[in-house]
Amino acid sequence: MNLQIKPILSALRRHKAGTILIALQIALTLAIVCNALFIVHQRVDRVNRTTGMDESNVIAVLNRYVGKPDSFIPLTQTDVAALRNIPGVESAYSTNAYPLRQGGWSTGMQIDPNKTKDSVPSALYFVDEQALKTLGVKLIAGRNFNPSEVVTVGPQSTPAPPQVIITKAIADKLFPGVSALGKTIYYAKGKPSTVIGIVEKLTVPWVEWDHMDNVTLMPVRFDSGYQQFLIRTKPGQQDAVFKAIPGALFKVSRMRVLPEKYGLRTFETVRAKAYEADRGMAILMSIVCAVLLAITAAGIVGLSSFWVGQRRKQIGVRRALGARRSDILSYFMTENFLIALGGAVVGTALALGLSQWMLTHFEMPRVSVTYVGVGVVLLLALGQAAVFAPALRASKVSPVEATRSV
Amino acid sequence: MFAYYLQLGLRSLRKNPMLTALMVMAIGFGVAASMTTYSVYRATSRDPIPQKSHVLYNTQVDAFGPENIENGEPPPSLSYIDATAIYRAHKAARQSIIYPVNVSVIPDDPSRLPMREGAYANGADMFDMFDVPFIQGRGWTRDDDEKHASVVVISRELNDKVFNGGQSVGKQINLDGRLFQIVGVIDNWAPQPVFFDVPNTGGFDDGAAVFMPFTRAIDLQLPTNGNNNCVKEPEQGWDGYLHSECIWLSLWSEMSSQSEVDAYRNYLNGYAAEQQRAGRWNWAPNVKVRNVVDWLDVQKVVPKESSISLIVSLGFLAICLVNTVGLLLAKFMRRAPEIGVRRALGASRATIYAQFLIEAGSVGVAGGLLGLILTGLGTLGTKLVFPERIAHLATLDPTLIALTLLTAIGASVIAAFYPTWRAAQVQPAWQLKSN
């Protein structure tokens, strides 16, 4: 097929402004759309990350005791017992933090008791023997805690119980190639903790951290007026249990606060809250991309239609001289393709430049080449689709036009 | 003449409703996207206390050492040792140590449930330093600070909840089982960004309901409700904690002249050097004294999402403008014969300019109105995109309305310049001949 590139180029030279405008629009659209889609991709990836938990049928309670008794432990124990007695509750425990809570503890741990360097960070979850069941995590080696192993830790002290359960991520990091079971880890100086179990996966309380899967479960009752309860309900019982929780707790004692906003949450709510900003960004960038592509397409239709209208006479002459309809159609399609290609080249440079700029200013990862490639193909296709209707109209210009008003 | 050109413009716009609608939509969407994201950006980047932001200074002293900090930036908070030592030296006219605590208000009526409220422990000077508005009574005195007095200032909202909005100065309030005397009630006060507690709030938070003397909070062993970072494990107990290298306090100072600031900085350097000499620190003094604006800037209070979406939206607006230039060019050039006739009949280039710019301006007005509606919807919809504590700051106020309309009209007139110039270049003879 004869692509008529030469005559197209010389025709374009006579329509510099229009050509440049379409190319510029495609270039800018490409730059924005690549980066925006890349942001969407990253955010969606984050939102879709798993926690290692079985997240359905889990309720999280934030409880703050009022007043200052000598110890909060008896209160906490009574509360946990009351929660476990609610009909429909499978298991429950009190803790300092859980995945996606967006607030918790972390500490450095090491295997050499004397070295203070080379410590590996880990998030700490204070749990008891019902935690594994409540979280729904998978124990891949070793055993669960016994109720007798749970120790009390006071407010201003560093927890380092004799037994711990760690995630596979920590086991692989601290003891590469060998089993971590029975090994010793130091969370505080001079206080060894033995690994008695390994869970497949469990993430830290934060959505943004350098070590997402470094979690240590410690059999600890933490003496604090600020307690989180995690509750697993039997399937289908979540709503009923959710409604029963405040009553059960206030029956034990009224001297407590379950805050309005975060007091009682299903785990779906916890997850939605944790990824609020990511989800929002993904939605915003998707809308921007969709509207931008629509506007660019509409712009191409508008300008192409104008060109076709302007060149009706020339089209008529070509048709009269023997050009087929398909020749006219392919002329306009090729013309658009060439302009879009030019725009895409400039746009690729702009997209990479914008990405580099965002990298230095906002510590964003660099846009992947795949995205630029996909963007180029997308815009070339969009251009072809947009120009099709005006091109088809051009191909329908009758040869008679050539004879008019000359 | 203006009215006539406007009439001509509107008639021409009506002739190609599709093309006109396209231009109006491009401008409307572009302006709305950039104005909506701008409203969020403006809210997050604003000066929370413009009348005093240049005289209020935060204090940073590196108690962690170069190995434990990034890019030489001292930690954002102070340890109890440093904060109290610097405060006691009294090198600034007014000073206050501040940290967030959590209290539960226990109502006298036993049938009502306790309420958990956000609170700050601070010095007496803070109320005057930050221009906190009082509706009843006033802040406590420095003397109360010295005496570790059980006094509190509460918010209007808490006063409404506990005292039904009545006169409550002099009355007592039960906080976690201890009685405090109310000395003042403030109007709802929550500067955004919360410049005085950036390390714990990230900059955006609902206001606090209770303020109590720092000295009293320390007596009561109230732990911080914010971040606590320790470079070394603290000794056991509250006293061990107070004498540890854990950082959890902010120290704010009011200084009205540069010489005062310089003297204060010199003092801090001297203090840090002394710690080095005493063997507590083995690194050179590293102190920072920053005013509100610099502090918010260094702490990167404007969320990344807010800046990125603003940039993307501005790019969006640019594309919409290029689009409009193209469409206007197409529209104007199609009327080359008409321009030819007008020019031949004696119209000057200036009149052609006027006519077409007015036509473009009317597209801008229509785009601006559409943009205004969309911006209104956009600011309502910011909740979908930004966390609620930030989203609720974005509002469609008169400034934003004016800015939206001006941007739309300005943008469409700028977009019209090139097409209008081309229209004015039309050669009358050539046009007349080919018709």
CB–CB of A32/A355 below 8 Å?
Answer: no
Mean pLDDT over residues B301-316, rounded?
88
- Could you tell me how many helices (H) and strands (E) chain A has, helices first? 11, 13
Q: What is the pLDDT of residue A108?
A: 84
Q: What is the DSSP string of A280-333?
A: HHHHHHHHHHHHHHHHHHHHHHHHHHHHHHHTHHHHHHHHHTT--HHHHHHHHH
Smallest CA–CA separation between A283 and chain B, in Å? 7
Report how many Cβ contacts below 8 Å link chain A to chain B. Answer: 143
Q: What is the pLDDT of residues B250-300, one digit of tens each?
A: 999 999 999 999 999 999 999 999 999 999 998 999 999 999 999 999 998
Contacts 24+ apart (CB under 8 A), A233-238: A233/A57, A233/A58, A233/A59, A233/A88, A233/A89, A233/A90, A234/A57, A234/A88, A234/A89, A234/A90, A235/A56, A235/A57, A237/A57, A237/A87, A237/A88, A237/A89, A238/A57, A238/A59, A238/A266
Q: What is the pLDDT of residues B183-225, one digit of tens each?
A: 999 998 989 899 999 988 888 888 899 999 999 999 998 988 8
Q: What is the pLDDT of residue B3?
A: 84
Q: How far apart are CA B63 and CA A258, in angstroms?
A: 37
pTM of this prediction?
A: 0.82
Q: Determine the longest span between alpha carbons in chain A, in angstroms.
A: 104
| A96: nearest Cα among A211, A221, A199 | A221
Q: What is the pLDDT of residues A215-241, one digit of tens each?
A: 999 999 998 888 999 999 999 999 999
| A24: nearest Cα among A321, A339, A235 | A339
Q: What is the pLDDT of residues B321-364, one digit of tens each?
A: 999 988 888 888 888 888 888 888 888 888 888 888 888 888 88
Judged by a CB distance cut-off of 8 A, whether residue B204 touches chain A is no
Judged by a CB distance cut-off of 8 A, whether residue B68 touches chain A is no
Q: What is the pLDDT of residues A24-73, one digit of tens each?
A: 999 999 999 999 999 999 999 999 999 999 999 999 999 988 877 888 99
Burial class (CB in 10 A: 0-12, 13-18, 19+), A279: middle
Shortest CA distance from B118: residue in chain A: A259
In chain B, which among 95-114 make CB contacts under 8 A with chain A? 102, 104, 106, 113-114
pLDDT band at A115 (very low <50, low <70, confident <90, very high): low
Q: How far apart are CA B70 and CA A142, in angstroms?
A: 40
Chain B residues whose CB is inside 8 A of the A296 CB are: 319, 323
| A102: nearest Cα among A339, A305, A233, A272 | A272
In chain A, which among 100-129 make CB contacts under 8 A with chain B? none
CB–CB of B187/B156 below 8 Å?
Answer: yes
Q: What is the pLDDT of residues B151-187, one digit of tens each?
A: 999 999 999 999 999 999 999 999 988 999 999 999 9
Instruction: Measure Cα distances from A205 to A108, A185, A211, B57 in Å.
Output: 16, 21, 11, 34
How many C-beta atoms surround the C-beta of residue A200 within 10 A? 14
Cα-to-chain-centroid distance, residue B93? 27
CB–CB of A360/A40 below 8 Å?
Answer: no
Please tell me whether the interface predicted TM-score (ipTM) of this complex is above 0.90: no
Q: How far apart are CA B103 and CA B115, in angstroms?
A: 8
Instruction: Measure Cα distances from A83 to A105, A251, A395 in Å.
Output: 25, 11, 76
CB–CB of A113/A186 below 8 Å?
Answer: yes
**Can you read off the two tokens belonging to residue A179?**
């089993």
| B151: nearest Cα among B178, B189, B187 | B178
**Can you read off the two tokens belonging to residue B272?**
């840090």
Sign of CA dihedral B255, B257, B258, B264: negative
Q: How far apart are CA A198 and CA A139, in angstroms?
A: 6
pLDDT band at A406 (very low <50, low <70, confident <90, very high): very low
